Structure 1
């Protein structure tokens, strides 16, 4: 009985050792993958900063004005001014919703005295 218990104990310890060994290498693999992903994220952030700088450079107002003037014959673009917008009183707003008439109203003719 004692030998059976010791045998089961040895097998259990060996099984736990094997499990710990595989978990150790799985954890190291996951940490390596996390490090690689962090490096890729850093590279993506640096590419994004470069693209934002290029976008800001290409969208300078004086550069865009030069492009508009150079291509006016083809594009017919004009500068946007306040005259291109409507005044507030020119905007048609919908009136209040009165709803459907549910009860008819009878109207009587009254004669006015002269």
Structure 2
């Protein structure tokens, strides 16, 4: 009886050791995966910063003004002037009236009187 108890205890200890071994490697893999993802996030944030700087550089008013002047004959862009604006009372706030929908359905004998 005692040998059966020792055998069971040894098997349980070996099972727990195997489980702990597997969990240790799973944990290490998860930690490495998380570190890779954090590195990727850091790289993407750096790329976003670079793209924002490029966007700011490309949208400089002087550069845009120069592009408009170079392409004036194609684009016909002119500066905004005050007479392009209207008074708020001139703005129509209603929805356009819907036209009635006409359907072409053949009439049947039942619909005729």
Q: Taking structure 2 as the reference length, what is the TM-score of the superposition? A: 0.77
Matches of 1:11 and 1:44, distance apart in 2: 49
Q: Provide the residue aligned with 1:22 in structure 2.
A: 22
Q: Provide the residue aligned with 2:56 in structure 1.
A: 56
Instruction: Please tell me whether Structure 1 or Structure 2 has the larger radius of gyration of its CA atoms.
Output: 1
Structure 2: segments with no counterpart, 5+ residues: 95-113
Deviations 1:15-46 (A, max 9, x none): 00000001001101111111111111111111
Change over 3 Å in CA distance of 1:91–1:9 after alignment to 2: same
Query: How many residue pairs end up in the alignment?
Result: 94
Residue aligned with 2:78, SS? coil
Regions of 4+ moved over 3 Å: none
Q: Taking structure 1 as the reference length, what is the TM-score of the superposition? A: 0.76
RMSD over aligned Cα atoms: 1.2
Q: Provide the residue aligned with 1:44 in structure 2.
A: 44
